[in-house]
Amino acid sequence: MTQHTPDAAPVELRHNAIGFLDALVIGLASTSPAYSLAAVIGPVVALVGVFAPGVFLASFVPMLLIASAFYYLNRVDQDCGTTFSWVTRAMGPWVGWLGGWAIAMTGVLVIGSLAEVAVRFGLLALQLDGLAENTAVVRTLTVLVILLMTWVCVLGTELSARVQNVLILAQVGALLAFVVVALVRGLGGDTIDGGGLSPEWGWLNPFGAGGAALTGGLLLGVFIYWGWESAVNLTEETKDSATAPGRAAVFSTVLLLITYLGVAYAVLVFAGTDYLEAGEDEFIFAVLAGDVLGGWDWVLLLAVSTAALASTQTTIIPASRTGLSMARRHALPGGLAHIHPSHRTPDVSTWWVAGIAIAWYLLVGAISENALFDSLTALSLLIAFYYALTGIACAVFYRRQLRQSLKTLVFVGIGPLVGAGLLLWLLVESIGDLADPSTSYSGQAWLGVGPPLVIGVGIFVLGLIVMAVWRVRDGRFWQERTTTAERLEADVAAGRAAAAVEDPAP
């Protein structure tokens, strides 16, 4: 949290820079709702048909349970490193370090792709279709967008929040307009080639399409909720830091569920299943926008662009704050712990995240466009891993207090463990699915298996190597006192842990 200099007081992140609503907006923006829906609505419908809303509902369950873990762990440890700090305290430095590494690497994998989507859909919204097809133009603009959003992050958390407030209003407004028009036209019989469907409550049944289809749908569904925890990474910079960031994380998952169900019903009522199954990933929204909104199709295209733009910025936050947290605990080079003296942001770690993300984007993009998509698919491994670790850490950290009340047992112990179990199950299923080269975008085998699995496992192996090397070079982090009982007893003595579970409902 601090950066010491010989002649100056420690520089800290700016306290009370944002409030609950700002944190909520950042949590929502990090998930990029419009882009996430555009990317998965077609593949999910192809897997489960009309039961897509049910899959989105089922995917929400582990997210809500893990959000509960984030809420309670933040109550006792307001550290911007979130999972890294909490897992280290509950389960030891080795596992905690890997949790932090996973968070940082998700940012590296996805930032470039998000910025590219912002560029492509922005050009489409401006009716510059030719430029949107020009790879050199798109990649140049993508790098510039990453640099611009990184600069905004460095300039200050307050500025970042104001930018996000504007972008989320544009995004939600456009999605709302799309949903209303699609439902009105669909219910009135004005559908695409007569393929629209009458809405049914049964679409909310996640088991309607069978177990195998549900598994595949859930793997995609987890992706569209990922990112809400960015609000908690700003805990040191948020007013009422012990509770507001955690509440923002929980509320954002609920708002996302409402948004996803609304859009899923709207597109099924207007377009039906055949049309969605034939769509090409995120560009299905580009086509749907014209069908639903006519000459106003730029509204939805702009929504996807602003969603990806917002998420580009907010995805930098968890990675940079995690890097800061790890560095000040001596788990990474100390230079990453530098905080800008006037902007009060982790400038060094923020620029490092951007630089590595740009390098990854250009390197993988040079291999092929499909390789870039395969790197995104590998995200499911990292997401499930660090979310599951957080759920387990919550139950372990509070294990001596779980018998205080039934609410504590359910919300602090059983719920996070169930969420972690579901995500670990999805992690295992992911590995099996990603091992098949035919399921990858490239359709080719790397080392005999699918490229996404090679990328995901390779990132974990690289993490183990970096961790081992740094352990030899600077072992201070691994010498910290991390015994759960000792840590928890210290918190109870200070009154922090006890206060955290007095009111189990976020």
Average confidence (pLDDT) over 235-256: 91
The reported pTM is: 0.88
Name the residue ranges covered by the structural domains of the chain. Answer: 33-500
Average pLDDT value over all residues in the chain: 84
- Angstrom distance (rounded) from CA 154 to CA 307: 20
- Angstrom distance (rounded) from CA 176 to CA 302: 13
What single letter denotes the amino acid at residue 454? V
pLDDT digits (tens, 9 = 90+) for 445-503: 788 888 888 988 999 999 999 999 999 999 899 987 544 445 554 554 444 444 455 54
CATH number of 33-500: 1.20.1740.10
Give per-residue burial for 32-48: e unless 16+ CB within 10 Å, then b.
bbbbbbbbbbbbbbbbb
**Counting beta carbons within 10 angstroms of the beta carbon of residue 291, is it exposed (0 to 12), middle (13 to 18) or buried (19 or more)?**
middle
Over 70: is that where the pLDDT of 404 sits? yes
At 163 the pLDDT is: 83
CA distances (Å), origin 116, targets 325, 362, 435 = 29, 11, 27
Query: How many other CB atoms are found less than 10 A from the CB of residue 173?
Result: 14
3 state SS of 3: strand
Of 81-90, 225-234, 348-357, least confident by mean pLDDT is 225-234
